[in-house]
Amino acid sequence: MKYHVKSLKLADQGKKRILWADGDMPVLSQVREKFAKTKPFKGLRMSACLHMTAETANLARTVKAGGADLLLCASNPLSTQDDVTASLVRDFKIPVFAICGEDRKTYYSHLKAAVDHQPHITMDDGCDLVNVLHTKRRKEAANIIGSMEETTTGVIRLRAMEKNNQLLFPVIAVNDAATKNLFDNRYGTGQSTMDGIIRATDFLLAGKRVVIAGYGWCGRGCAMRANGMGANVIVTEIDPIKALEAAMDGFLVMPMEQAAPVGDLFVTLTGNKHVIRPEHFRKMKDGAIVCNSGHFDIELDLVGLKKIAKNSRRQVRNFVDEFTLSNNHRIFVLAEGRLVNLAAAEGHPASVMDMSFSTQALASEFVVKNKGKLATRVHDVPQAIENKVANLKLKSMGLKVDKLTPVQVEYLSSSTEGT
C-alpha cells in the first residue's frame, strides 16, 4: 500500500484519539454497522480530500466498512493530525497522503495521488479535488458517479461551475443540509474557533472587543460564543439582511474601516478575499490579534500586511506571528491566516461532526444507489437523509419529539378553518 504520512511511530496516539472521537459519534457508528452489512460501496474506489482529523478517520472507517476502496488526502496543508493519519495507515489500512505543514507542491502531489486512485466517488472539503478533475485530469472525471462537497466555499465554487456549464458530474451539496450547516457551521465553528484562538494566544475574551467579519452560520456561531464569554461583539457584513439580523441579535454593526481602530481581536469568516486589508491594518491598535476561520487563507491580505510591515514576520509563540507597522503598532496574525480552528485546535468536536459525516456517508450511498440517474448539477441532500440523521442524533441524546395528532394532521392539510 502506498501512502505519505509523517511517521507511523505516531500511530498509537492517533488510534486513541480516533477511538475517543468515535465515542462521541453514535450516529456515524450506526451508519457504519449498517454499511458493514449492506456494503453499498463494494467494488467502488473512493477518494476523499478532507481535513485529516480523528473525526474524518471515523468517516473513513465507515465508508471502508461499506466496501469502498478508499484513499484520503488533506484539504488544507495545516489541518492534518499526523498521529491520526499514522493510525489510519497502520491500524485501519487506509492509504493517506497528508502531512501537517506540507508545502503547496506536496499538497498538490497528494491531490494527484487521490486522482491517480481513479475514484468512482469523491468527497471534497473546499472543491480542490473536483477542481483538479475538471482542469488537469478530465479523463479521470469521466469515471465519477458523483461527488460530495462538505463546505460553503466549495459549494460556492461548484455553483459557479454549474452556472458556467462546466460541471462534469453530479455533486451533492452536503454543506447545505440543515443537519450540517445549522450545527457544524454554527456550533462547531463557534466553539472550535474560540478554542483555536485561546490555545494559540491564551486570550481572555471577557471585556474585549471582538470583530466578527461575516454573519453566515459560521460568523453567527463565533459571535454567539464570543458574546457568551463576555466579549463585546462587533459584526461587519456586506449583506443588509444579515447585518440587520446581527444588529437585532444584539451586536454592533459597522464597516471594517470603523471596526479596525477599536477591535482587540478580529476573526474573518466570509469566504471572500481580502476582507482585512492594509488600510485596516494601519488603523489597528497596538497588539491587535487577527485570524481567519474561513476555508481559504485569502481573507486576510497578508501580502499587503507584509508590504507595510517594518519587520519580516517574527514568530512569538506557536501559531502567532508578529508584524510591526511604521507607527510601531504590532499586529499578531494567527496560524498564517489559515483556518485557526483546525490549525491551532482540533477542528469541530466529534459530537457535531457526527451529524456532518453521517450526512456525508448517507449522501454517498444515495449517489451510488442513483448511479446514472442524477443530472449533472449541484443537488441538495434528500430530506429523508436529513430526517434520518436528525432522528438518530436526537435518539442518541435521549430526546424525543411530539407526534401530530390526527386532528392536527387534518388541520395542516385543510384551508377551510380560519377565524
Nearest to 226, CA basis, from 199, 197, 248, 183? 197
What region, left, alpha or beta, does residue 96 occupy, with left being phi > 0 and alpha being psi -120 to 50 degrees?
Answer: beta
Q: Cβ distance 290 to 333 under 8 Å?
A: yes
Q: Are strands 45-50 and 121-124 parallel, antiparallel or unpaired?
A: parallel
Please give the span between the terminal C-alpha atoms of the chain, in angstroms, as a whole number.
71
Give the H or E element holding residue 320. Answer: strand 320-324
Is 17 one of the binding residues for ligand ADE (CB under 6 A)? no
Spatial separation of the C-alpha atoms in residues 92 and 54, rounded to whole Å: 12
Choose which of 64, 225, 348, 393 interacts with ligand ADE (CB under 6 A).
Answer: 348
The DSSP call for residue 334 is: E
Instruction: Please state the closest distance from residue 133 (CB atom) to ligand ADE, in A.
Output: 21
Interacting positions 52-111 with ligand ADE (CB under 6 A): 53, 55-56
Is 179 one of the binding residues for ligand ADE (CB under 6 A)? no
Helix (H, G, I), strand (E, B) or coil at 280: helix
Q: Please say which residue, 188 or 219, places its beta carbon nearer to ligand ADE.
A: 188
Instruction: Please state the closest distance from residue 301 (CB atom) to ligand ADE, in A.
Output: 24
The DSSP call for residue 85 is: H
Q: Please say which residue, 128 or 301, places its beta carbon nearer to ligand ADE.
A: 128
Spatial separation of the C-alpha atoms in residues 127 and 82, rounded to whole Å: 22
Is 14 one of the binding residues for ligand ADE (CB under 6 A)? no
Q: Of the listed pieces 49-57, 96-104, 139-147, 293-301, which binds ligand ADE according to CB under 6 A?
A: 49-57
Centre a 10 Å sphere on the Cβ of residue 223 and count the other Cβ atoms it contains: 26
Instruction: Please state the closest distance from residue 340 (CB atom) to ligand ADE, in A.
Output: 11
Is 353 one of the binding residues for ligand ADE (CB under 6 A)? yes
Choose which of 347, 360, 364, 390 interacts with ligand ADE (CB under 6 A).
Answer: 347
Q: Please say which residue, 49 or 50, places its beta carbon nearer to ligand ADE.
A: 50
Q: Of the listed pieces 51-59, 116-124, 163-171, 399-407, which binds ligand ADE according to CB under 6 A?
A: 51-59
Q: Of the listed pieces 60-68, 99-107, 301-309, 342-350, which binds ligand ADE according to CB under 6 A?
A: 342-350
Nearest to 6, CA basis, from 96, 117, 124? 96
Instruction: Please state the closest distance from residue 153 (CB atom) to ligand ADE, in A.
Output: 12
Partners of 13 in the β-ladder: none
Query: Which spans of this chain sit near ligand ADE (rule: CB under 6 A)?
Result: 50-51, 53, 55-56, 188, 342, 347-348, 353
